Amino acid sequence: MSLTDRIEGLRTRIVRACEAANRDPEGVELLPVSKKQPLTLIQEAAALGFTRFGENYVQEGADKAAAFPDLAFVLLGPLQRNKAKSALQHFAEIQSLDRLDLAERLRRLAEELAVVRPVWIQVDLWDEATKLGGCAEADLPALIAALGDDPRLPLRGLMAIPPPEDEGAFAQLAALRDRLQQDLGCPLRLSMGMSADLEAAIAAGSDQIRIGTAFFGERVYAR
Ligand SMILES: *Cc1c(COP(=O)(O)O)cnc(C)c1O
């Protein structure tokens, strides 16, 4: 199947999900996830008008950002302290902020590099932390405080990868977003939903779905 065919099928799924949820499809951002996808496919997607791409690994994203200086790459994968500087240099946005020491380090480095990078906090309400990263709900206030309204790291929203078998997870995330939004008095977006579960995420109020395989096809892993 060609990239255009896959994207068309994806758009149909998004429109149907929005109709079912009584939502405007314009309110759901489609973020293509290009990890483990070749440069040629990113190029093709860019020619179709896509300008932002999700990546999981700092080095791979940095290489792609160097190859495509006009495109913006968003970091979705776990971020280690020693890669924080490289992440700020090569990514337009960081969605996997999940702990205090990382927030402090990013603030220091963003000032040193004089860059502004919107951040999203990755949350984990299901105690999956060791596997996929993510901040526990109880630790959120301290993490948000550590960001300290730093204009170099504006908080855009919450990102999560809920366990696939948990049907209530998306609603749980939406409720958390609503509470935090009220507490903080500022809008927060919700990034949830992937190729297999975008309909349920849209029904629960997702503002951004991160789509890899349904957009680009199967990922190519090195043998
Ligand atoms: C890989 C990945 C995606 C996309 O996954 P698909 O199932 O291929 O759509 C989305 N978000 C994160 C954080 C990912 O690591």
What does the pLDDT look like over 94-147, one tens digit per residue? 999 999 999 999 999 999 999 999 999 999 999 876 678 899 999 999 999 999
Atom number in ligand 1 closest to CA 95: 13
Q: Could you read off the pLDDT of 31-66 as tens digits, one per residue? A: 999 999 999 999 999 999 999 999 999 999 999 999
| Domain 3-216: CATH superfamily, name plus number | Alanine racemase (3.20.20.10)
> Confidence class of residue 223 from pLDDT cuts 50, 70 and 90?
low
Measure 211 CA to ligand 1 centroid, in angstroms.
6
Whether 220 shows a pLDDT value over 90: the answer reads no
Residue closest via CA to ligand 1's atom 10 equals: 210
For residue 195, the ligand 1 atom closest to its alpha carbon is: 9
Paired strand residues for 209: 30
Domains of the chain: which residue ranges? 3-216
d(CA 117, CA 74): 10
Beta partners for 203?
none
Per DSSP, helices labelled H in 139-212 are: 140-147, 169-184, 198-203
Q: Residue 68, exposed/middle/buried by CB under 10 A (0-12, 13-18, 19+)? A: middle
Rounded distance between C-alpha atoms, residue 98 and residue 147, angstroms: 11
Q: Which residue, judged by its Cα, is nearest atom 1 of ligand 1? A: 212
So what's the pLDDT on residue 130? Answer: 61
Instruction: Determine the Cα–Cα distance for residues 6 and 111; give it in Å rounded to an integer.
Output: 41
Q: What is the pLDDT at residue 159?
A: 98
pLDDT at residue 131, as a whole number: 72
Query: Which pLDDT score is estimated for 164?
Result: 85
Is the full-model pTM beyond 0.95? yes
Ligand 1, CB cutoff 6 Å, lining residues = 33, 35, 56, 76-77, 161, 194-196, 210-214
Query: How far does the centroid of ligand 1 lie from the alpha carbon of residue 114, in Å?
Result: 30
Q: Which amino acid is at 110?
A: A
Cα 197 to ligand 1 centre (Å): 11
Rounded Cα distance, 35 and 130, in Å? 21
Label residue 29 by pLDDT band (50, 70, 90).
very high
Atom 13, ligand 1: which residue's CA is nearest? 76
